[in-house]
Amino acid sequence: MRSLVTGGAGFIGSHLIDRLVERGDDVVVLDNLSSGKEEFLAHHSQQVTHHHVDITDYESMSPYFKGVDVVFHFAANPDIRLGTQITDTDLRQGTLATYNVVESMRVHGVPTIMFASSSVVYGDNAPMPTPENHGPCMPISLYGASKSAGESLISSWVGTFGLQGYIFRFANIIGDRGTHGVIFDFIHKLKKNPTELEVLGDGRQEKSYMEVGDCVDGILHIMKTQNESLNLFNLGSHDTCSVRRIAEIVVEETGYTDAKIAYTGGSRGWAGDIPRAMLAIDKMNSAGFNVKFNSEEAVRHTARVLIQEIGLNN
């Protein structure tokens, strides 16, 4: 099997590649290393080929789709907050990039796509836990809008050109090789100032967390067992963890137990943040997949491995 992974040098993409190599795939990676790292792929030799390509440039990215059996599309701007300052990043790195991917697939006859979407497509005030058939989906961040647009492009390429699509709406994915997100930020803040941890919002924001190994196992399990033309699945754990609890866990795990946790106040971390989110995972469970870590276990595990990776003493 020849797999192409956009964003394969990133956090989730590189974990997926570990599994693809294990099952014997040849893997082509398109990644411009804007947030990914070559070292995440360094342990693979012949089976993985990385091309330093920007997928917003159709002419340079499209030829790599020739002879590919399946595309895993992860490349995107990972920073939801960026949209509060720069308003065309998600349009280019999300919506336009996804158009380039599905169009390259049509041109080169690639049959199947997996897309990394997000719980943020459901927008504010969705019922908790949120099922896949909740709608209308009205995202409140520019990142969310680009994920929603990506889903629509895939669904229209399925309907018009016979593509097969697997769309996954992820909860917050955390684990080793993480390069962004709340746990990563808290460790860096404590490293800089071990006496105080500033937390955006009132700490009552509450979301589901899924360990990255569970996430990539879930993707591959569902792609193996489900065979609709368009397959839509939430991927997450069955509970939530509050930001306040995450702050406490990170403080405990760093050993900086005298650190004062200071809240900036307000119910949202930033404009466009969704303070409470939990996905319904009945469909994922019915497909025969369950997670190994609940939210709090995933948070503690991630705090430990990221403290090792980041290091507190340099």
Q: Which residues bind ligand NAD (CB under 6 A)?
A: 7, 9-13, 30-36, 54-56, 74-76, 78, 93, 97, 116, 118, 170, 172-173, 179
Q: Which residue's CB is nearer to ligand NAD, number 95 or number 118?
A: 118
Residue 97 and residue 55 in contact, taking contact as beta carbons nearer than 8 Å: yes
Shortest distance, CB of residue 277 to ligand NAD, whole angstroms? 11
Residue 274 and residue 201 in contact, taking contact as beta carbons nearer than 8 Å: no
Q: What is the DSSP string of 276-306?
A: EE-B--HHHHHTT---SS-HHHHHHHHHHHH
Tell me how far apart the alpha carbons of residues 135 and 106 are, in angstroms, rounded to a whole number.
29
Tell me how far apart the alpha carbons of residues 169 and 159 are, in angstroms, rounded to a whole number.
20
Q: Which residue's CB is nearer to ligand NAD, number 75 or number 278?
A: 75
Nearest alpha-carbon partner for 197 in 244, 132, 144, 155: 244
Nearest alpha-carbon partner for 147 in 128, 123, 181: 123
- The H-or-E segment that residue 169 falls in is strand 164-170
Shortest distance, CB of residue 196 to ligand NAD, whole angstroms? 26
Shortest distance, CB of residue 118 to ligand NAD, whole angstroms? 4
Q: Which residue's CB is nearer to ligand NAD, number 17 or number 259?
A: 17
Shortest distance, CB of residue 60 to ligand NAD, whole angstroms? 10
Q: Which residue's CB is nearer to ligand NAD, number 13 or number 165?
A: 13
DSSP state of 46: T
Tell me how far apart the alpha carbons of residues 42 and 36 are, in angstroms, rounded to a whole number.
12
Shortest distance, CB of residue 27 to ligand NAD, whole angstroms? 14
Residue 278 and residue 208 in contact, taking contact as beta carbons nearer than 8 Å: yes
Residue 47 and residue 19 in contact, taking contact as beta carbons nearer than 8 Å: no
- In this structure, the number of other CB atoms found within 10 A of the CB of residue 206 comes to 18
Shortest distance, CB of residue 211 to ligand NAD, whole angstroms? 11
Q: Which residue's CB is nearer to ligand NAD, number 255 or number 270?
A: 270
Shortest distance, CB of residue 76 to ligand NAD, whole angstroms? 3
β-pairing verdict for 241-242 and 196-199: unpaired
- In this structure, the number of other CB atoms found within 10 A of the CB of residue 300 comes to 19
Q: Which residue's CB is nearer to ligand NAD, number 33 or number 262?
A: 33
Q: Which residue's CB is nearer to ligand NAD, number 172 or number 295?
A: 172
